[in-house]
Amino acid sequence: MQINIHNAKFILSAVSEKQFPQDFLPEIVFVGRSNVGKSSLLNALLNRKNLAYVGQRPGKTQEINFFCIDEKIYFVDLPGYSFATMGKEKVQKISKTIDLYLKKRKNIALIVMLVDIRHKPTADDLTMFDYLMRSKLNFIVVPTKADKVPITKIPDYCEIIQKELNVPETVDIIPVSSDKKQNLHAIWQAIQETLQEE
Ligand SMILES: Nc1nc2c(ncn2[C@@H]2O[C@H](COP(=O)(O)OP(=O)(O)OP(=O)(O)O)[C@@H](O)[C@H]2O)c(=O)[nH]1
Ligand SMILES: [Mg+2]
């Protein structure tokens, strides 16, 4: 499937299942803690600055945002799960929304799970990772903000993440920098491979 990224548009924001798009195109989903860089990665992959809103402060994305690419696939930008400065009520509301999407949606093609390359995965990252492992969902782990560490140290940081999460060899770990546009082609390759399997 050839995809023209210049033909990407925002479709809708949803908080409940009945609002999700009904054409059931394959969906590429971005999950991870708040502020990890989901919206930034989505924009970088599409070579756009502000298609998805990026925030200085965690909690920028609070609904499930659907972007249609070339009328063939959706990119789905999820709100971030948990952040220390987020209120309890907000965390609960957001995790309900994420759960609803992941459990109900049948046309998920690939989940891109983002973790900050600089930090050990949090308890919430572990919960999400274990959920993905137990599910039948197809996913990759993407350490973000790779520009924040020396380039020669990137493999070491990835190894820490691999060990902490206990990522099996069958799951790809692909470090990226959205700011510096590093390694984005590898994410596109994973997306293309997934779509070919469909
Ligand atoms: N240095 C660097 N900063 C980044 C990168 N990607 C994202 N950021 C910064 O991280 C912050 C959060 O980015 P977002 O893309 O809004 O993060 P998010 O995961 O969508 O956050 P929520 O919507 O709150 O869940 C912003 O200040 C971005 O500029 C990157 O590759 N490198
Ligand atoms: Mg966001």
Query: Which of 54, 151, 154 for mutating ligand 1's site (highest number of atoms within 8 Å of CB)?
Result: 54
Asked if residue 165 has its Cβ within 6 Å of ligand 1, the reply is: no
- Which of 36, 40, 81, when mutated, tests ligand 1's pocket best, judged by the most ligand atoms within 8 Å of its CB? 40
Please tell me the predicted confidence (pLDDT) of residue 89.
80
Q: Can you read off the two tokens belonging to residue 151?
A: 């380039």
- CATH 3.40.50.300 assigned to 7-16+23-197: yes
* Sequence-ordered list of residues with C-beta below 8 angstroms from that of 168, at least 6 positions apart, any chain: 133
Give the number of the ligand closest to the Cα of residue 50: 1
Per-residue confidence (pLDDT) for residue 83, from 0 to 100: 61
- Cα(60)–Cα(44) distance, rounded to whole angstroms? 17
Task: Work out the number of other CB atoms within 10 angstroms of the CB of residue 149.
Answer: 16
Ligand 1 pocket member 145 (CB < 6 A): yes
pTM of the entire structure? Answer: 0.95
pLDDT (0 to 100) of residue 94: 81
Nearest CA to ligand 1 atom 22: 34
pLDDT per residue rounded down to tens, the chain (198 residues): 888 888 999 999 998 889 999 999 999 999 999 899 999 999 999 999 989 888 777 677 778 999 999 999 999 999 888 765 667 787 788 888 888 899 999 999 999 999 999 999 999 999 999 999 999 899 999 999 999 999 999 999 999 999 999 999 999 999 999 999 999 999 999 999 999 976
